[in-house]
């Protein structure tokens, strides 16, 4: 098992302090960087406790999990848009700059779709790949906008997610360079219901990008 390092720190985005956790391999340069966002009931701690951070680092990746504004340890920060409305694409661009990310993979469940989707459409040159997990706000953008994005995408959802699973899939599948990971018997937070399947699918997809 590769030696890894786990750290906690903060960055300043738009004059506000955001907390993040980072895991990376110790003895080698990371193969890729992965930015993990989270849903409204979760935070970077979710990815720590689920061991997604450590598994990514052990596989040779730099994994950064950020607490979104108003949530987790970034509670003092104010979100740049109301929940459910697309946020300015400049928010995640500033996060990328603050974390010194270049051509990173973004994992975006649920609430975080309000941040990741505008970023995908405006700054997809900064994205190595996109991994949406039943994100919100997919219906806010036309099919033609999705069709113009060539970023490799792994669409993940649980088949028991009646609210956002199918809705997000129907919009996201307009992205031309996508594959779908449908998790049987899993709900909205499908990665929590089936962590082994989640990690297996995630690492396989990341390997395919190299």
Active site amino acids: 110, 161, 188
- A 10 A CB-CB count for 76 gives 11
- Give buried/exposed letters for 32-63 (b at 16+ CB in 10 A, else e): bbbbbbbbeebbbbbbbebebbbbbbbbbbbb
C-alpha span between 58 and 3 (Å, rounded)? 7
> Which among 85, 86, 46 has a CA at the least distance from the CA of 190?
46
Query: In degrees rounded to 5, what are phi and psi of residue 182?
Result: -95, 120
Token duo for residue 32: 């890729």
The region that residue 89 occupies, defined by phi over 0 for left and psi between -120 and 50 for alpha, beta otherwise, is alpha
DSSP annotation of 57: H
C-alpha span between 208 and 59 (Å, rounded)? 13
What 3-state class would DSSP assign to 155? strand
């Amino acid at each position: 098992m590769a030696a890894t390092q786990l750290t906690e720190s903060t960055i300043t985005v738009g004059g506000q302090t955001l907390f993040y956790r980072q895991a990376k391999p110790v003895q080698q340069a990371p193969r890729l960087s992965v930015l993990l966002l989270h849903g409204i009931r979760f935070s970077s701690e979710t990815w720590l406790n689920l061991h997604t951070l450590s598994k990514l680092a052990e596989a040779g990746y730099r994994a950064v999990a950020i607490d979104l504004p108003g949530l987790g340890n970034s509670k003092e920060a104010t979100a740049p848009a109301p929940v459910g409305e697309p946020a300015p694409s400049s928010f995640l661009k500033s996060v990328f700059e603050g974390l010194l990310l270049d051509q990173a993979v973004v994992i975006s469940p649920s609430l975080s779709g309000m941040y990741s989707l505008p970023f995908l459409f405006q700054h997809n040159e900064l994205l190595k790949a996109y991994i949406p997990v039943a994100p919100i706000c997919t219906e806010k953008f036309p099919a033609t906008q999705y069709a113009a994005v060539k970023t490799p995408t792994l669409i993940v959802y649980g088949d028991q997610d009646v609210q956002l699973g199918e809705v997000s899939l129907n919009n996201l599948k307009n992205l031309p360079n996508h594959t779908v990971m449908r998790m049987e018997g899993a709900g909205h937070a499908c990665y929590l219901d089936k962590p082994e399947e989640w990690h297996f699918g995630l690492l396989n997809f990341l390997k395919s990008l190299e």
